[in-house]
Chains A and B, each alone.
Chain A
Amino acid sequence: MDSSNLSSIRMGTGDLAKYPFLNEAGEYLRESGFGWEELERPDMKDVIDRAAERVEVEVSGNIYDKLDRYEIEILTFLVSLIMVKSIGMESVLRKFTLAEARRAEKFLTEDLKRQNEMQKRSLFAKIFDDLFKLKIEISEDGRLLKVKVPDYLARSSHFHEQEWKLINRLVHNGYVYLDVDETVRLVRNELSVLIYEKIRMMTLPTLPQAIKVKADDLRSKLAPRYEYRVTAVTEYPPCVKHALEVMGRGENLPHSARVMLATYMLAIRKPVDQIVMMYENAPDFNEKITRYQVEHLAGMKGSRTKYSVPSCDKLRNENLCFAIAECNGIINPIQFGRKRK
């Protein structure tokens, strides 16, 4: 059976609950006569509570894996998207979509390991081929999966680990051979982008009161944790202060401390011009080079990777930590002064 036929096989509600981002999930809801106004019904409270739980669990970096009532979970996904959209915070949106991608990744891995060849091929067609134009084939001996070299490279080359380099893969006759976990990992980013875009493109109607209340609740709960309150940073953490003092004295600051200083300042949204001038007193200051380096860390130059602030652990290892009592409970300098009291 070719993939176009496989693609037309209808999925069960169990599959749609696991992969609710598939267009079929939306069709399923439409066919079952679901409309916005249904969300106002009192018996939707369970769905709304579950959706709020889903958002909270996932934003904290865990996976929401309830799957006891399929139809309810398809709706829960939809409502959780509405909530995330309504919360309107970029960092919440990113954390949520990454966790949703990892959730789908978990179910996909389990399904591909468990299912028979026909079911596997149907999943390949529905998810990899339809959504991401990635053709997955089963290896000649049936033990592994294989993808075409350019399809592999287009995805893997953005992973940092050496083991994902093409040279460390089994490559033969135009194909890269992978196990199930590796194959699924290959599309994590695309899954996340797919859900991210779904939320970004959403236009919200007037929200049912019950959802609005929950979303407002979540926002006030999450805002102190995930919103960078730029104006609230009146005091720098001691490591940053120390770096600024050393700079101010015109002494040499180690490279790792310079990276820490720049990434911290970028994270609190200081303009690049101002950051560059913080290095003015450095004995080897060269404005052009410093600007390039700051812009590089900001993801504006070179590899386009935006660097994050090094963790407290890392700074401790490099003897750049000068912790004070207020540092208790934080794991990254960026959290200094932002912890909820």
Chain B
Amino acid sequence: MTQSALAKTISAVRSAFRGYYFKPNMIETPDMIEQREFGYMQFAQVGMVRHLSFNSMKELTATIIKEAPADIYCSNAYYRFPTYPMQEKQWLGADLIFDIDGKDLHLPCVSSHSYFVCANCGRASASAPDEKKGYPCQLCSGKELDSVSIPCANCIDGSKKEVKHLIEFLTGDLGMKQGAIQVYFSGNNGFHVHISDGAYARLDPQARSDLVGYISGAGLMAESVGVRKRNAENLFLIKFPKSGLAYGWRARVADKLKIKSSSIIKLKHIVEQRGGYTPFKVDVDRMARDMGVRIDPQVTTDVHRVFRMPGTLNSKSGLVKMKCGDLDSFDPLVEACLLGDNKVSVRVKTSVKLKLKNKSFNISKESAELPAYAAVYLICKRLAEAN
């Protein structure tokens, strides 16, 4: 992209973003705003401006309108001194958060709506690179290609299913109240789940990591469902735990194996069929991981993270990180698509299909006049630039 095209493109997106932030009450006010750390990314600049603090939404909005940032973040943590360097902030606690990213679900539909964008020259193509050729970009011979996906309804449904699965763990096993769980569309291809439960706020990264293990099904021992190792290789004995198999992970695995706390002989038979202790252990581990929720472990264990603010725009799409009322009926490509519809002229790098605000776009020509929300979406996906 030439310097002038780049400047034009940034200016088009920035002005659409600024227009959005001019509308009143779009951004959700965080609890304890004065104890949070804020940060933002600017268009075409490397590195985050962070360690900021605001005493009110009025102050924050003023900065946002002035800067029109690409992305705006707020810490899940609260600090005594949010603007100090990390070691001196005095951490007081952090909300428990979960991130479910559509790309981690590895859905089969992804390849049908993925594009490849050269990290060097920005050339975009719908066809997968031929790795045998060694030079994936046909224009500049750049070797690094980024995969860009335009999530389809199936991707969104897949992420929603994962969110519901997470909520089952949170309300069932962990006994959280529905009201303490807020689900947000991430603004691109996934969902963020915020928990407002003070009891979890003081937990350190290690405790959160243990919780992540629980939810994602990592580290379940065969002993937890009653299969204990004996000294010799592969030998085992059945001894059910005193607390039984009635709930939680034990119940999930017991259901799968169709056993109860009284089925000693049946379980012994199952383990023998699998080939003894070690293969059974591997099997239990795999079973648990399959039944777990695919959450990003780093997000949940990080107690100093600055996390995308609800109500702000995501520069990977131009869509809004938005609270979902009814998850089933929530359609992010309609409800989170809140930029204006004034016409923007763009040069589209590859033919592309998309549906936003219930309107389908099937663009095969290089130049197009699109409503701002669609133009910005394609620019953010690096599939178009301003004309």
14 A–B contacts, CB within 8 A, in A order: A144-B242, A150-B199, A165-B214, A165-B219, A167-B288, A168-B220, A170-B247, A170-B248, A170-B250, A171-B248, A172-B173, A173-B173, A174-B174, A179-B242
A144 to B209, CA, bound (A): 26
Could you list which residues of chain B lie within 8 angstroms of chain A, going by C-beta atoms? 172-176, 197, 199-200, 202-204, 206-211, 213-214, 217-221, 223-224, 241-244, 246-250, 288
Asked if B288 and A170 make an inter-chain contact with CB atoms under 8 angstroms apart, the answer reads no
Contact of B203 among A143, A153, A165 (CB under 8 A): A153
B175 touches A153 (CB 8 A): no
Question: What residues of chain A lie closer than 8 Å to B220, measured between beta carbons?
Answer: 167-168
Complex: A174 Cα to B170 Cα, angstroms: 9
> Contact partner of B247 among A149, A165, A172, CB < 8 A?
A172
Q: Which residues of B contact A169 (CB under 8 A)?
A: 224, 243, 248
From known contacts A144-B243, A154-B203, infer whether A171 and B221 are also in contact, taking CB-CB under 8 Å: no
The 4 closest A-B pairs by CB, nearest first: A174-B175, A172-B247, A170-B243, A153-B207
> Is residue A166 within 8 Å, beta carbon to beta carbon, of the partner chain?
yes
Chain A residues 306-325 with CB under 8 Å of chain B are none
Could you tell me the distance between the alpha carbons of A149 and B203 in the complex, rounded to whole angstroms?
11
A contact residues around B224 at 8 Å (CB): 163, 167-169
Chain B contacts of A144 at CB under 8 A?
242-243
Q: Do A157 and B243 have beta carbons less than 8 Å apart?
A: no
A7 within 8 A of B: no
Among the listed A149, A158, A168, which residue makes an inter-chain contact with B174, where contact means beta carbons less than 8 Å apart? A149
A279 lies within 8 A of chain B by Cβ: no
Taking CB atoms and an 8 Å cut-off, the chain A residues in 175-194 that contact chain B are 175, 177-179
Q: How far is A165 from B207 in the complex, measured between Cα atoms in Å?
A: 9
Provide the residues of chain A in CB contact with B213, threshold 8 Å: 165-167
* Additional A-B contacts beyond A172-B248, A173-B175 (12; CB < 8 A): A149-B175, A149-B211, A150-B202, A153-B208, A153-B210, A157-B204, A157-B207, A165-B214, A170-B250, A171-B247, A171-B248, A172-B246
Q: A177 vs B249: C-alpha distance in the bound complex, in angstroms?
A: 13
Check if A148 is an interface residue, CB within 8 A of chain B: yes
Contact yes or no, A171 B249, CB < 8 A:
yes
* Interface core residue of A148, A154, A170, A179 (most chain B CB under 10 Å): A170
Contacts of A162 in B (CB 8 A): 219, 221
Most B C-beta atoms less than 10 A away, residue of A156, A157, A175, A177: A157
B214 adjacent to A167 (CB under 8 Å): yes
Are the CB atoms of A158 and B247 closer together than 8 Å?
no
A residues whose Cβ falls under 8 Å from a Cβ of B: 143-144, 148-151, 153-154, 156-158, 162-163, 165-175, 177-179
- Tell me whether B173 and A153 are in contact (CB under 8 A): no
Query: Does A154 lie within 8 Å of B202, measured CB to CB?
Result: yes
Number of residue pairs spanning A and B whose beta carbons lie under 8 angstroms apart: 92
Nearest-neighbour CB distance to chain A for B216, whole angstroms, equals 9
CA distance A169 to B243 in the complex (A): 8
Asked if A167 and B217 make an inter-chain contact with CB atoms under 8 angstroms apart, the answer reads: yes
A156 to B209, CA, bound (A): 12
Chain B residues, CB < 8 A from A165: 210, 213-214, 219
Chain A residue with Cβ nearest B169: A171
The distance in angstroms between the C-alpha atoms of A169 and B214, with both chains bound, is 10
Least distance between B347 CB and chain A CB atoms (Å): 46
Q: How far is the CB of A5 from chain B (nearest CB, A)?
A: 24
Report which of B176, B210, B221, B288 forms a contact with A157, defined as CB distance below 8 A: B210
Closest to A177 in B: B243
Instruction: Give A223 Cβ to nearest chain B Cβ, in Å.
Output: 36
Contacts of B219 in A (CB 8 A): 162, 165, 167-168
CB pair A170 B244 closer than 8 Å: yes
Chain A contacts for B218, CB-based, 8 A: 167
Contact B221 A175 (CB under 8 A): no
Residue of B nearest to A149 (CB): B174
The residue on B at minimum CB distance from A166 is B214
Q: Which residues of A contact B204 (CB under 8 A)?
A: 154, 157
Specify which of A150, A170, A179 is in contact with B246 (CB 8 Å cutoff).
A170
Q: Which residues of A contact B223 (CB under 8 A)?
A: 163, 168
Contacts of A153 in B (CB 8 A): 203, 207-208, 210-211
**Contacting residues, chain B, for A158 (C-beta < 8 A):** 206
